[in-house]
Amino acid sequence: MRMYDIIHKKRCGLALDEAEIRFFVEGYTRGDIPDYQASALCMAICCRGMTSGETAVLTDAIMRSGDVVDLSMFGDLSVDKHSTGGVGDKTSLIVAPVVASLGGKMAKMSGRGLGHTGGTVDKLESIAGYRTSMTREEFIETVKNVGVCVVGQSGDLAPADKKLYALRDVTATVDCVPLIASSIMGKKLAAGAKSIVLDVKAGSGAFMKTVDDARKLADEMIRVGTMCGRNVRALVTNMDIPLGHNVGNSLEVVEAVRVLRGEQKGDLYEICVALASNLVSMFKKISVQESQLMVAKSIESGAAFAKMKEWIAAQGGDVSMIEDTLKLPRAPYSREIASPCDGYISHMNTEGIGLCASLLGAGRVNKGDSIDFGAGIELAKKTGDYVGKGEKIATLHASNEALFADAKEKFLSSLEFSDKKTGKPQLIF
């Protein structure tokens, strides 16, 4: 088999067979196929597409390129969730303990933030002592005893994706449904859970800018996951507005704690209930409606918050920071942003808001950059809210006052105002 022929076949719009796809993924992972041929094939896939069958084989090959976690000891109880990434998206911090409090086994490998999006691992590391790296045995043991364990992605999981993603990033081949679907699902399937809920974000702060594109990606990921023998559901949710009120690592932990204590309702609570209910419905084999009641009760009764504390303690985190969130890292400087005019906030460019948080030190521009756990944004107003001129829209937090000027400019340039009442945006599509 020759890579040249595989590239040519895809360039002509023909479907690749299983052997050809595996030849490519295995050869590229081993280093036998050079980057220029792999990138030519990725580009041909972007231009010509793939059938669901081809995408399923590509996913399977990516999954098998490294370790595959065996969660079979948990039977149908093993669950996982994945978000395609966004701004203020701290849903995993809430959904994981809720689901574990109801008997699910959440064995989760999460990522770090990059660019304008946040990552669960960074948020958890704002809790002193929390270990995001564990041996495979410790990981499984924690899931067994506590019902939840959240660690960073092990280097041995789906190495083909690691190489391919870095290549796609620099060859304009990221935004392509079969390549994104196989990249995400290859990793999720390798992580081993039987039931998976995908939170596919749509809007200015997401990868998929339109609901239609997000739906196509969601459909493909469900198809591929199902073909590989997993139960997969997806929600397409709004990322044209930051989720919740806080953006930034420890600020997001604070907000997650508020939701788990039953002190905060609204968009974040509703999306978490929807995601958690779907997972509970899958592992308990009951309706989503019935699951919703159980999820709400777990939060109201304090069971979910108790589970969060148990989980954080099991991974070495300082639980007193969860009990008293004033102990979490806080940036020493704050700056309020006042509205420049009277009117309704008609749109928030959510990528811009995420970049503003990064400018404050909450995110990284390049992989490996260090982050400031206490930095970020607290939003007092969001899309649909009325603000009077001079009224507070947000508070910025940073460790260096010099960061406020650029961040403020980025924040204000991300907002649009209107005289007309715009209404609250739809949350779940």
Residues in touch with ligand URA (CB under 6 A): 165, 174, 179-180, 183-184, 207
The DSSP 8-state label assigned to residue 17 in this structure reads P
- List 182, 183, 277, 281, catalytic entry: 183
What whole-number distance in Å separates Cα of residue 287 and Cα of residue 280?
A: 9
Give the torsion sign (CA, 381, 116, 216, 281).
negative
| Residue 392 CB-half CA count within 13 A | 10
User: What's the closest the beta carbon of residue 83 comes to ligand URA, in angstroms?
Assistant: 10
116 is catalytic: no
- List 81, 123, 187, 381, catalytic entry: 187
User: What's the closest the beta carbon of residue 166 comes to ligand URA, in angstroms?
Assistant: 11
User: What's the closest the beta carbon of residue 56 comes to ligand URA, in angstroms?
Assistant: 16
What whole-number distance in Å separates Cα of residue 313 and Cα of residue 307?
A: 10
Rg value, the chain, Cα? 22
The DSSP 8-state label assigned to residue 14 in this structure reads P
Which residue, judged by CB position, is nearest to ligand URA in the bound state?
183
Task: Give exposure, 338-375, as e/b (b: 16+ Cβ within 10 Å).
Answer: ebeeebbbbbbbbbbbbbbbbbbbbbbeeeeeebbbbb
User: What's the closest the beta carbon of residue 184 comes to ligand URA, in angstroms?
Assistant: 5
Q: Which is nearer to ligand URA, 158 or 360 (CB)?
A: 158
209 is catalytic: no
| Residue 233 CB-half CA count within 13 A | 16
- List 60, 80, 122, 161, catalytic entry: 161
Give the torsion sign (CA, 235, 94, 63, 172).
positive
User: What's the closest the beta carbon of residue 28 comes to ligand URA, in angstroms?
Assistant: 15
- List 10, 64, 81, 82, catalytic entry: 82
82 is catalytic: yes
Q: Which is nearer to ligand URA, 207 or 411 (CB)?
A: 207
- The pair of three-digit structure tokens given for residue 356, joined into one six-digit string: 């503003």
183 is catalytic: yes
CA-nearest of 171, 192, 190 to 182 is 190
Q: Which is nearer to ligand URA, 117 or 195 (CB)?
A: 117
Q: Which is nearer to ligand URA, 167 or 174 (CB)?
A: 174
User: What's the closest the beta carbon of residue 386 comes to ligand URA, in angstroms?
Assistant: 36
| Residue 159 CB-half CA count within 13 A | 11
Quote the longest CA-to-CA distance of the chain. 67
Residues tagged active-site: 82, 161, 168, 183, 187
